[in-house]
Amino acid sequence: MLIKLSGGTVYDPVHGINGEKRDIYLQDGYITRKPASSIKIDKTYDLNGKIIMAGAIDIHTHIGGGKVNIARMMLPEDHRADLVSKTKLTRSGCGHAAPSTLTAGYRYAEMGYTACFEPAMLPSNARQAHMEMADTPMVDKGAYAMLGSDDFFLRMLTAKKDREAISDYVGWIINATQAIAIKVVNPGGINAFKFNQRKLDLDEQNEHYGVSPREIIKSLARAVRELGVPHPLHLHGCNLGVPGNMHTTLDTIRAVEGMPLHLTHVQFHSYGTEGDRKFSSGAAEIAEAVNSNPNISIDVGQVLFGQTVTASGDTMRQYAGHWHAHPKKWVIMDIECDAGCGVVPFKYRDKNFVNALQWAIGLELFLLINDPWRIFLTTDHPNGAPFTSYPHLIRLLMDRSFRNDMLATINKGAAAASILSSIDREYTLYEIATMTRAAPARSLGLKNRGHLGGGAIADITVYNNIKNKEKMFEKPLYVFKNGEEIVKNGKIVKVVTGGTHTLRPDYDKSIEKSLKKYFDRYMTVKLGNFKIDDDEIVEHGNGNIIVQPCT
């Protein structure tokens, strides 16, 4: 089947195409070059005046795994307000803060997304995370394995194991858990909390192991680079949410000494202690550091107002935050000498000084960081806001007068404390296409995604060109997944499964000897049963495995 997308206005930053009128041809799931005139075109879409981008990619969204499922179980009142009926094509479910897997897949696709990455897969919970992702239809998935608070790794650091051994362990984890990258959450802090430590700064030591977050970050960042994992170490830093943590973040950028590092949901790590409330924006300093350190990429973790739920591996900080739970219920779990999770429902209020300033700080970061190739659009779903608020967020970035109108409605003190009103920048469609398509694909090493060149997988989103960008981005005209039309006018027209992106870095298999001994002595599953076979992901018929190459 040869399909022609005719006459649309194309934004494809990988190829430097900035709003040019182009024809795009799709065949057998791929984008293909213009065929010879003798070849019959089976179907033509007249897309004159329409906007064409590659399918969007969410680099950081909590869509699967134990903590998300705890959030689902604990919030029936949130779900009851957003029940989703079955249709002839789609299954029932529910949405909002922690949507059912099926609804999450449908809504991502209906918003023009074709791939989503779960950033906090606990190795001990990886099997369930993959099962939930397999039950998330429409989009491709992938997950980052969480390390840095697991006792096996911390024992290695304490024992001064050489860097090759650590790389072997990291490589083994990626293979065993079918991950595509490595995440570290409050490095060593989840572990320290199990020893009753309540805070852990960059150079503070885990009392039991005598290692600091700085050492953990450097060790893992190096292992990730040496294994050829395309995505840099994905770091949720120390001191999340703590006023003054901007200095920790700046120190962390310096700590990696030029190694690639991705700082996630930086909004939550950009707080100063200025002003009467001892809570201020550090966005300008953080942005300056990101701008001048090309080894650093970030995603924002934008806060938007309303009810949501925060789900994180950071038990230490989630415990500290539970006093603000809304409604007043919360879960903390220590997990398998591996990591942990904390689930705290939260309501961000526009009239609350701190919440309003968090909102402004996120936007400041977006607008002050110059290079859209190194900043990705996220709300840290659902922690800052549910992913369904992305179109609203895009409008805030693209439309200065709308942004200033919103700014006028928030807490006055927060508005006054923010430099937001003085920032003129408006994101262009080209920059949006970069930060939501091209850049995440490049950062994750997805060579044939995130662009519209010949040979790319035909994951494509077509938008009506509407002045109100929220309206434009919330309801694409068409979405194509692997060359098939799956969404029309913002509604599912065909249900597809989506695959799972993985990586198979090479490592010295002899690491399994010490791992087996450790598992036999201290763990509660056998090494062989810890590992996830390909068959387990594909057997139920709702997914395939896509192995991405290492660099």
Partner 1 sequence: MKTKTHQTIVLNEVPCPFCSLICDDLVIQNKDSKLTVKENGCAKVKAHFAQPLPDSTPALKGKSCSIDKAIKAAATILKQSSAPLIAGLGTDIGGMRSVMHLADNIGATIDHMHSDGVIRNTLVLQDLGWVMTTMAEIKNRADFIIFAGTDASNYPRFFERVIWNKNSLFRNIKKRKIVYIGDKLKTSTGRSPEGKLPTVLKCEQEEINEIISVLHAIIAGNIIQTPKIAGISLATLLKLAKQMQEAKYGVIVWAPGELNFPHAELTIQSICELVKYLTRTTRFAGFTLAGADGAMSANNVSAWQSGFPLRVNFSKGFPRHDVGRNSTKSLLKNKEVDALMWISSFSSNTRPPKAKIPTVVLATPEAKLDFKPDVFIPVATPGIDHSGQLIRTDNVVSLPLKKLRDSKYMSVSDILNRIIELI
Check if the beta carbon of residue 98 is closer than 8 Å to that of residue 127.
no
- C-alpha to C-alpha distance for 333 and 340, rounded to whole angstroms: 5
| Amino acid identity for residue 179 in this structure | A
Return the residue of 2, 176, 333, 550 that touches partner 1, per CB under 8 A: 333
Helix (H), strand (E) at residue 176: helix 163-176
Binding-site string for partner 1 from residue 184 to residue 223, where x marks contact by CB under 8 A and - marks none: ---------xxxx-----------x---------------
Nearest of 512, 372, 515 to residue 442 by alpha carbon:
372
- Enumerate the β-bridge partners of residue 68: none
Asked if 79 is part of the footprint of partner 1 (rule: CB under 8 A), the reply reads yes
- C-alpha to C-alpha distance for 264 and 59, rounded to whole angstroms: 10
Least distance from C-beta 540 to partner 1, angstroms?
A: 6
Q: Which is nearer to partner 1, 338 or 474 (CB)?
A: 338
Asked if 92 is part of the footprint of partner 1 (rule: CB under 8 A), the reply reads yes
- C-alpha to C-alpha distance for 96 and 87, rounded to whole angstroms: 19
Check if the beta carbon of residue 213 is closer than 8 Å to that of residue 160.
no
Q: Which is nearer to partner 1, 155 or 247 (CB)?
A: 155
Q: Give the start-end residues of each E strand in 13-156.
A: 17-27, 30-32, 43-46, 51-54, 56-58, 83-84, 93-94, 113-121, 140-147
Q: Which is nearer to partner 1, 22 or 79 (CB)?
A: 79
- C-alpha to C-alpha distance for 170 and 157, rounded to whole angstroms: 13
Q: Which is nearer to partner 1, 152 or 353 (CB)?
A: 152
Asked if 312 is part of the footprint of partner 1 (rule: CB under 8 A), the reply reads no
Asked if 549 is part of the footprint of partner 1 (rule: CB under 8 A), the reply reads no
Asked if 338 is part of the footprint of partner 1 (rule: CB under 8 A), the reply reads yes
Return the residue of 45, 55, 58, 103 that touches partner 1, per CB under 8 A: 103
Return the residue of 38, 401, 422, 524 that touches partner 1, per CB under 8 A: 524
Q: Which is nearer to partner 1, 195 or 278 (CB)?
A: 195
Least distance from C-beta 96 to partner 1, angstroms?
A: 9
Rounded to the nearest 5 degrees, what angle is found at the Cα of 134, between the Cα atoms of 102 and 391? 50
- C-alpha to C-alpha distance for 172 and 150, rounded to whole angstroms: 14
Q: Which is nearer to partner 1, 152 or 463 (CB)?
A: 152
Asked if 328 is part of the footprint of partner 1 (rule: CB under 8 A), the reply reads yes
Q: Which is nearer to partner 1, 242 or 523 (CB)?
A: 523
Which residues between 38 and 67 bind partner 1 (CB under 8 A)? 64, 66
CA end-to-end span of the chain: 33
Asked if 529 is part of the footprint of partner 1 (rule: CB under 8 A), the reply reads yes
Return the residue of 9, 61, 69, 436 that touches partner 1, per CB under 8 A: 69
Nearest of 301, 299, 345 to residue 322 by alpha carbon:
345
Instruction: Please choose, out of 47-55, 101-109, 234-242, 454-462, the segment that lies near partner 1 by the rule CB under 8 A.
Output: 101-109
Enter the DSSP assignment of 211. Answer: -
Instruction: Please choose, out of 124-132, 296-304, 471-479, 490-498, the segment that lies near partner 1 by the rule CB under 8 A.
Output: 124-132
Burial code (b: 16+ CB inside 10 Å, e: under 16) for 75-100 equals beebbeeeebeeeeebbebbbbbbbb
Asked if 84 is part of the footprint of partner 1 (rule: CB under 8 A), the reply reads yes
Which residues between 138 and 167 bind partner 1 (CB under 8 A)? 151
Asked if 465 is part of the footprint of partner 1 (rule: CB under 8 A), the reply reads no
Rounded to the nearest 5 degrees, what angle is found at the Cα of 437, between the Cα atoms of 434 and 443? 90
Asked if 513 is part of the footprint of partner 1 (rule: CB under 8 A), the reply reads no
Check if the beta carbon of residue 21 is closer than 8 Å to that of residue 76.
no
Least distance from C-beta 451 to partner 1, angstroms?
A: 32
Return the residue of 37, 85, 292, 401 that touches partner 1, per CB under 8 A: 85
| Phi-psi region at 502: left, alpha or beta (left = phi > 0; alpha = psi -120 to 50) | beta
Return the residue of 466, 533, 547, 549 that touches partner 1, per CB under 8 A: 533
Q: Which is nearer to partner 1, 248 or 383 (CB)?
A: 383
Question: Under the rule (CB under 8 A), what is the footprint of partner 1?
Answer: 64, 66, 68-70, 72-76, 79-80, 83-86, 91-95, 98-103, 122, 124-125, 127-128, 131-132, 135, 151, 193-196, 208, 319, 325, 328-338, 343, 521-526, 528-529, 532-533, 535-536, 539-540
